[in-house]
Structure formats: structure tokens, C-alpha cells
Structure 1
Amino acid sequence: MKTLDLVIIGGGPIGIACGLEAQKKGLSYVILEKGPIVNSLYNYPTNMQFFSSSEKLEIDEIPFISNEAKPKRSEALEYYRRIVTSNKLNMHLFENVTHVEKVNSLFEITTSKDTYKGINVIIATGFYDIPNKLNIPGENLAKVSHYYNDPHFYAQQKIAVVGASNSAIDAALECYRKGAEVSLIIRGSEVGQRVKYWVRPDIINRIEEGSIKVFYNATLNEIKPQEIIINTPDGLTTIKNDFVLALIGYKPNFKFLEQLGITLSDDDKKLPTYDPNTMETNIANLYLAGVICGGMETHKWFIENSRIHAKMIVASILEKRK
């Protein structure tokens, strides 16, 4: 079994950036992605538009041209796929990492298809794989989803959207415009302040005109096959319901990080330990890159401000060779 200079776990934009940098610097590497190229982006809603402009989503100074200033999901998929194929990156797709263990000075990485050895490992797995749960009765019913794809599915249905962030608001507006009867359930007193600035006035106007019903300072109490029970400031309210979209955010795979020996902060943020100058964790030669660095602070790191992690990590690896 060949020992690689670097094994990159995660084939999203930051994982790709790490692969590009490793390739440029002559390091032997592999990128392991459990699904298709940029699996997380592929699983974003079909009609999603990014908050960031296209130039802020560029990696390795490769131009990203989009029809509008803020690109759509389909344009991002095209952009990152072209980078992988045109640069002939060594990316193994649909290969899920099942175990990572450090034996002496080398890492042994086991996947659903093969086994690898690496001197260095980068974890660039993001946080989109594990949804936050409501932890209420009925959450496991087939009518409940923690992911949203296409509004056509919900046409002429009574749907409840739980959440106040971009994913929830986008879903509520799209489904409403495809003929769904939408109820928004928001834990706080207003639509989230981080909602895209061109979308927030739209949802507020739809709420004020009565097109979309909203329950502020409310939580779901129970989900039943044909109705839901909402805990509101005025008490429990029951409404008819066909589908529930519980879009309340996602979190990194903390169990995986802990199994690797990476220490996490004791508070609710669960911030992983790493050197901000090199991105190296408390485990020698084990690095973090991208949004996973923020723990539960999933709004801290984005593609645009974590692109630099690739250069920082590869520079650290090369420095250790001297």
C-alpha cells in the first residue's frame, strides 16, 4: 500500500482547494468524497441562490462566471466539477470514510472501498450531514424532512416550515409560489436577521399580507399524521398538516472528530482545537479546513473566508519537511 503525503476527507469546495494546492506543490494526495463531486452542494435545494457573489466562491483564483452576481446551485456545481475534471484531481467519489486511526506516525484510513495510508490528513467534511432534531413525538413520521429540495413536491399541500434562517425562508417562499399552504413556525420574535437581504423583505411582505401564516415565539409540540400541535404564547394550537420541513440547521460529525482524538470545547459551541496559523489540530499532522472549524457556530466559516485554509495547511506540511 502506497503511503501518501496527504489524505483529504471531504470533496467539497474547500477539499478541492486543498487538493489543488497539494497538486501544485508536488504532494501525493487523494480526496475522498462520500458522494458525487461537492456532495453537500449537490444536496442543496434545486433553486438555491448563494448569499456570496461568484468571485467570493472562487478557489485558486480560477474565475467563476455566473449569469447574476450571486450564482445559483447549478452554476456552482458546474464550476467545481470543471475544476476537478480540468485539473485531473485525484478524487475518489462515492467512497465513504468509515475509520481513521493513527498508527505510530502514519494515519490509516479505511473507506467503504479501500484502505489508505497518509502522513497527513485534512478533515474538510463540513456540517451538512447531520440535521439538528426537534426531539418531539412524531418527528420520525414519513411526512417530516430535515432537508428540502424542490417546491413542486409540495404543491396544493398544507406544509409547516420550522425555522427562521435562509433555508427555511427560501423553502417557505418557493412552496407558497407553487401553490402550497404554508405555515412558518419561528422560535424567535422575527424572521432571522441573517436571511439574504433581497429575500427578507419578500417573506415579511408575504406574512403581512396573509399569504404565509406565521407563528412567532412558537415551537412544534407534536407531529401527527394529519395535523401538528404548536406551542404558542397563547397556548397549544392544532392545525391540519400534510408535510413538515424542519429546517433548523445542521452540525458537524462531532463523534468522528472525537474518535480521531480532536478535543472540543466544553461549552455548547463544541469548537475543535486547532492552531489558527496552520489549521493543525491537537493531533500532529491532522488538520481541519473549512466550515467544520466553527463547531456549532455554523455561520462563522464560509467558502469565501476559509479558502485560505488550503494554502495554510500545505505550507505547514512543507515546512515540516525542511
Structure 2
Amino acid sequence: MEEQATDVLIVGAGPIGIACALACKRENLNYIVVEKGALTNALYNYPLNMTFFSTSEKLEIDGIPFISNTPKPSRNEALEYYRRVVTSNDLKINLYETVGTITPQESGFSVSTDKAHYHTQKVIIATGFYDIPNLLNVSGEESPKVFHYYKEAHPFSLRHVAVVGASNSAVDAALEIYRKGGKVTMVIRGDNVGERVKYWVRPDIMNRIAEGSIKAYFNSTIKAIEKDKITISTPKGDVTEPNDFVLALTGYKPNFKFLEDCGITFSKDEKHIPHYNEETMETNVKGIYLAGVICGGMETHKWFIENSRIHAKLIIKHISAELS
């Protein structure tokens, strides 16, 4: 298979990958974006009725206006916005193409995917962190009744559902399922609902827990998952609850192995932050750059669309100077 030559290969077609493509186009750099799933794949996999914490102007990229019906845009509005940005700017994006290896050469890199081979001078990795869930590592987690992603409430109506976690995704799921007639039990490792939960949602979940509409076990973890029940380890001892489904919404992490295979190194603490130059976003591997939330390692709440949009400009400024 013949190698395709390009100046910049961008891995990931999320909002920040799109921002990098726009910056390349503006600087007349030859580029290609490779995405293993759908356009803005992580956003596509968000719950159907999700509302962003950020306002629409903070989700804009490259100064292109994002107009939404309410101050807090919905998932569907964001999907439409980023799609229109891509189509109206005729960006070069290959969807449903998975990058396998990125190999340094004397000049640039050889990149192999499941569909093509590329030779590129620079690589930008903007793959996010939504692909690999943090597992519970308990007996029964492999059961088909356990889900690590949540889409909508209807399948869980009139069922006993355990929601594990206390973040925005867990709280949204618990409230939606409760309002669709599900019998919800929350299992929360800490002593309260997460402080980062959207400020207009947090009172709602606290009130539902206080009135008993949603049962919650704090400072607790799931010990075992069985066909029709779960065992919960609580400060007062083990508790058994009837159960039809478990939503283990315990967060996600970047594909560290993919970065390691590229030669990227990390901090040696639990944060596992990849090494990169904050002024250029170039990693310890010369010619490979990181953009977006992947820069935070296990600190997945450090970088968002709104504060990592600047990564595209920093990267392309550095690449343009090197390739000119």
C-alpha cells in the first residue's frame, strides 16, 4: 500500500482535533485527521439528553459562533455545531479509521492505520479520555447487565438500577432513571455527591436522596454483582439489594498504552501526566504533540474544550515555524 504524505497527521476528530485542523488550514499546512469512530465520537456517545456545563460561546472553536437555544447547549446542538464547522470548512477527516502504530523515521513519522499508511512530518494526538472506563474490579462486573456508559433512561424503567459514582454523569443518570420509573440506588465511594456536579442539578439529587426517592449509600462500594442482586460494602457492614442493572459510571481514562507505544513518558505519581512542553505542547518525542484533555493524564477534569482550545494555536505556531 502506497504511503500518503502529509505535513501534519491529527489523531482524533473531537472538538480540539477539529480546532487543530482549522489551524493547519489557516497556515496552509497539508494535514489529515484520522478518527476511529464518528465525528466528535465522545460527544456522540454522551447521554441523549445531556446539557453542557459550559455556555455555547465557551465551546466555540476558531472564533466560529455557536448559537444555541438556551445558555447551556445540549448534546445535539453541539453535534450539529461541530459538524457544520467541519463541512463548511471542508476539513480533511477520515472517519472510522484506527491508528495502529506511529514509528519515528529519519524524517518525520510512518503512521499505519487499519486502512492506510501515511508519512507525516508531525503528529498531533487529541484522543481524549472517554474510551477506557475505570473498572470496579469486582465479581460479576463482566455480566451483560453491567454498563459503563449511559445513553438514555427508558431501558431501565420499572427496574432496580444501581448507579455507581457521584459525578455529573452518575447524577444525571440517577435522576433521569428515577423520573422514568426506575428504582434507583446510588453507591458512592465518598461521603457526599461530587462537588463538580452542575450547580443547578446538585440540589435536585440531594433533595431526592433526602426524601428517599433515590436511595444512596455513602462511603460505600459494590462488593459483588449477581444475577438479581448486588452486595454493597457500607460503613455499617455488607448490604444486599435487589438489582436488575448496574451503571458503573466511575469515570474514564486515556489510552496510556497508545501514548507509551509512541515513546511518550509520564510523571511517576498517580496523576500519570504525560510529559510535554506547556509552551508548544510538544512531548518528549520530538515531533509528537498532545492537545486537549489527554494532556491531564488521570486528571480528566483539568482540561475541557473551553480551556484547551488554545492548544491548537500553540501547536500549529510551533509546527509552522519548524516547517517554514
Q: Which runs of 4+ in 1 moved over 4 A?
A: none
Mapped pair 1:291 → 2:293: yes
What is the TM-score of this pair, normalised by structure 1? Answer: 0.99
- Identity fraction in percent: 60
> Deviations for 1:35-85, whole angstroms, at most 9, x for unmatched residues?
111011000010100010000000000000011101000000000000111
Conserved? CA contact 2:102–2:112, under 8 Å: yes
In the TM superposition, residue 2 of structure 1 has moved relative to its aligned partner by 3.5
1:4 aligned to which of 3, 6, 9: 6
1:277 aligned residue: 279
In the TM superposition, residue 123 of structure 1 has moved relative to its aligned partner by 0.2
In the TM superposition, residue 321 of structure 1 has moved relative to its aligned partner by 2.9
**CA–CA separation in structure 1 for the residues paired with 2:130 and 2:319:** 28
1:194 aligned residue: 196
1:107 aligned residue: 109
Q: What pairs with 1:198-209 in structure 2 (closer than 5 Å)?
A: 198-209=200-211
**CA–CA separation in structure 2 for the residues paired with 1:66 and 1:58:** 11
2:257 aligned to which of 255, 258, 278: 255
**CA–CA separation in structure 2 for the residues paired with 1:104 and 1:178:** 59
Q: Work out the number of aligned pairs and report it.
A: 322
1:29 aligned residue: 31
**CA–CA separation in structure 2 for the residues paired with 1:227 and 1:2:** 54
**CA–CA separation in structure 1 for the residues paired with 2:267 and 2:124:** 20
Mapped pair 1:79 → 2:81: yes
**CA–CA separation in structure 2 for the residues paired with 1:87 and 1:281:** 29
1:212 aligned residue: 214
In the TM superposition, residue 105 of structure 1 has moved relative to its aligned partner by 2.3
* Matched letter for residue 153 of structure 2: P
Conserved? CA contact 2:108–2:287, under 8 Å: no
> Deviations for 1:272-310, whole angstroms, at most 9, x for unmatched residues?
000000000001110000000000000000000000111
> Deviations for 1:110-160, whole angstroms, at most 9, x for unmatched residues?
111111110000000000000000001000000001000010110001000
Conserved? CA contact 2:4–2:117, under 8 Å: no
The worse-fitting range, judged by mean Cα deviation, of 300-309 and 105-114 is 105-114
**CA–CA separation in structure 1 for the residues paired with 2:145 and 2:106:** 48
* SS of residue matched to 2:38: coil
* Matched letter for residue 246 of structure 2: V
In the TM superposition, residue 100 of structure 1 has moved relative to its aligned partner by 1.2
* Matched letter for residue 200 of structure 1: R
1:59 aligned residue: 61
Mapped pair 1:132 → 2:142: no
* SS of residue matched to 2:186: strand
* SS of residue matched to 1:305: helix
**CA–CA separation in structure 1 for the residues paired with 2:194 and 2:175:** 14
* SS of residue matched to 2:112: strand
Gaps of 5+ in 1: none
Mapped pair 1:122 → 2:124: yes
Gaps of 5+ in 2: none
**CA–CA separation in structure 2 for the residues paired with 1:103 and 1:115:** 14
In the TM superposition, residue 104 of structure 1 has moved relative to its aligned partner by 1.8
**CA–CA separation in structure 2 for the residues paired with 1:204 and 1:19:** 42
**CA–CA separation in structure 2 for the residues paired with 1:25 and 1:184:** 50
**CA–CA separation in structure 1 for the residues paired with 2:153 and 2:110:** 43
* SS of residue matched to 1:317: helix
**CA–CA separation in structure 2 for the residues paired with 1:186 and 1:26:** 50
In the TM superposition, residue 109 of structure 1 has moved relative to its aligned partner by 1.1
1:222 aligned residue: 224
* SS of residue matched to 2:96: coil
CA RMSD of aligned residues (A): 0.7
1:321 aligned residue: 323
**CA–CA separation in structure 1 for the residues paired with 2:226 and 2:89:** 51
* Matched letter for residue 24 of structure 1: R
1:13 aligned residue: 15
2:51 aligned residue: 49
In the TM superposition, residue 263 of structure 1 has moved relative to its aligned partner by 0.4
The worse-fitting range, judged by mean Cα deviation, of 258-267 and 103-112 is 103-112
**CA–CA separation in structure 1 for the residues paired with 2:4 and 2:212:** 63
* SS of residue matched to 1:287: strand
1:90 aligned residue: 92
Mapped pair 1:142 → 2:144: yes
In the TM superposition, residue 320 of structure 1 has moved relative to its aligned partner by 1.3
**CA–CA separation in structure 2 for the residues paired with 1:300 and 1:163:** 19
**CA–CA separation in structure 1 for the residues paired with 2:83 and 2:280:** 27
